[in-house]
Amino acid sequence: MRMVDLIEKKREGGELSDDEIRFIINGYMNGDIVDYEMSAMLMAIYFRGMSERETLTLTLAMRDSGDQVDLSAIPGIKVDKHSTGGVGDKTSMIIGPAVAACGIPVAKMSGRGLGFTGGTVDKFESIPGYRTEFTMDEFISLVREHGISMIGQSGDLAPADKSLYALRDVTGTVPSIPLIASSIMSKKLASGADKIVLDVTVGNGAFMQELDKAKELAGRMISIGNGAGKKTVALLTDMNEPLGYAIGNNLEVKEVIAALQGDGPDDLMEISCALSGMMLSLAKDISYDEGKALAEEKIKDGSAFSKFKELVKAQGGDISFIEDPSKFKTAPVSSELTADKAGYISLIDTYALGIASGRLGAGREKKDDIIDMSAGIILHKKIGDHVVPGESIATLYGGSPGRPDKPLQVIEDNLQHVLHDIKSAFTIADERPDKNPLIHEIMVTIHG
Ligand code: URA
């Protein structure tokens, strides 16, 4: 087989065979296929797409390129949840304890912040002492003992995706549905769960801005999951404003603590309970509504909060911060973003807020940057809320971006720049806008 022939075949709209796809992935991983050949293939896929069979084979080849987690030592059905990303999305920290409180094992590996989105691992690490790195044996022991463990990615899962993603990033080939679907699902399939719930976000703070594109992506991921023998369902959720009010690591943890004590924002609770309900439905073979009601009950009666504390303690976190969130570090500087006219918040540039939070110190510009756990944004107003001139829409908390020891004046200047840049992120209109539904659709099968 020659790579150039396969590139030409895909360029002309042909369908690659399973053997050809495995030849490409294996060849790229062992160095026989080089970056310029792979780049040409990615571009051909970008323009010509892939059939469902090709996408499944590509995903399985990427899954098979590295370690695969074996969760069989944990009794029961393991259901994983994956979000395609958003701003202020702290649902995993609520869902994990809520599902575990229902007796379903939660063995969750999460990622760090990426671009405009935060990461669950970074959020957990804002709890002093909380460890996110464990060996696979320790991870499995934690789940067996506590019914839950939430850690960073352990092992070398889907290294082919890692290499391909880096290449896609610099060749303009990221936004391709088969490439995104196979990238996400190769890692999910390698993480060992029996069933998968996907939260496919849609809106101006999501990878997919349009509902039909999000549906297409969700459909392709469902088809891959089911094709690989793992029952997969997807919820299409709205990301046209941040979830909840907090963006930034310890700010979000504080919101999670309140939520688990029954005082969470409506949107955050609705999405968290919906996703938990779907996980419980798959794990317990009950209806989605029954699963959702069960999750709501475990949050209401405090057992999800107890499970959260148990998790934090088991992974070395200082529980006194959970019991008294005022102990969390506060940012050295803060400033208000105020309304310049009266009206209703009609539009929020969610992506811009995600970027702004990162610039304040909550995210990384370079891989090795140190996050400031206290940095971020607290919203006071969301879409549909009324404001009067001078009223605060949001408070910005300025931390030390990149490294922990910046002079106060640098932090203050940075805060003022970010404040200036996000003034236009909020649109104020005379009329109260209609709210988007929070859950656009639940997809249990592939939409054509
Ligand atoms: N997230 C991934 O893991 N891969 C993609 O291609 C896009 C988002």
Confirm whether pTM is higher than 0.75.
yes
Place of tokens 């990384």: 364
73 Cα to the center of ligand 1, angstroms: 29
According to the model, what pLDDT value does residue 440 have?
A: 97
Ligand 1 atom with least separation from CA of 168: 6
Q: What residues have CB less than 8 Å from 243, skipping those under 6 apart? A: 86, 87, 88, 89, 90, 91, 265, 267, 268, 271
Q: What residues have CB less than 8 Å from 217, skipping those under 6 apart? A: 84, 177, 180, 181, 200, 207, 208
According to the model, what pLDDT value does residue 8 have?
A: 98
What Rg value do the Cα atoms of the chain yield, rounded? Answer: 22
**Which 3 state secondary structure label does DSSP give 230?**
coil
Mean pLDDT of the chain: 95
270 Cα to the center of ligand 1, angstroms: 25
Closest by alpha carbon to 294, among 144, 104, 150, 106? 104
Q: Whose CA is nearest to atom 6 of ligand 1?
A: 180
137 Cα to the center of ligand 1, angstroms: 27
Q: Whose CA is nearest to atom 8 of ligand 1?
A: 180
Using CA atoms of 20, 23, 25, 30 in order, give the dihedral in degrees to the nearest 10.
-170
According to the model, what pLDDT value does residue 118 have?
A: 82
Distance CA 15, CA 18 (A): 10
Residue numbers in the chain where pLDDT is lower than 50:
447-448
According to the model, what pLDDT value does residue 400 have?
A: 85
Would you give the DSSP letter of residue 442? E
Q: Whose CA is nearest to atom 2 of ligand 1?
A: 184
According to the model, what pLDDT value does residue 374 have?
A: 96
Ligand 1 atom with least separation from CA of 184: 3
Contacts 24+ apart (CB under 8 A), 65-68: 65/25, 65/26, 65/29, 65/158, 65/159, 65/160, 65/161, 65/186, 66/155, 66/156, 66/157, 66/158, 66/159, 66/160, 66/190, 67/155, 67/156, 67/157, 67/190, 68/157, 68/189, 68/190, 68/192
Q: Which residues are catalytic?
A: 82, 161, 168, 183, 187
Q: Whose CA is nearest to atom 7 of ligand 1?
A: 180
Q: Is 184 in the pocket of ligand 1 (CB under 6 A)?
A: yes
**Residues 243 and 89 sit within 8 Å (Cβ to Cβ):** yes
**Residues 149 and 14 sit within 8 Å (Cβ to Cβ):** no
Give the number of other Cβ atoms within 10 Å of residue 261's Cβ: 14
The residue whose CB lies within 8 Å of the most ligand 1 atoms, and thus the one to mutate among 184, 188, 189, 224, is 184
According to the model, what pLDDT value does residue 447 have?
A: 44
Q: Is 153 in the pocket of ligand 1 (CB under 6 A)?
A: no
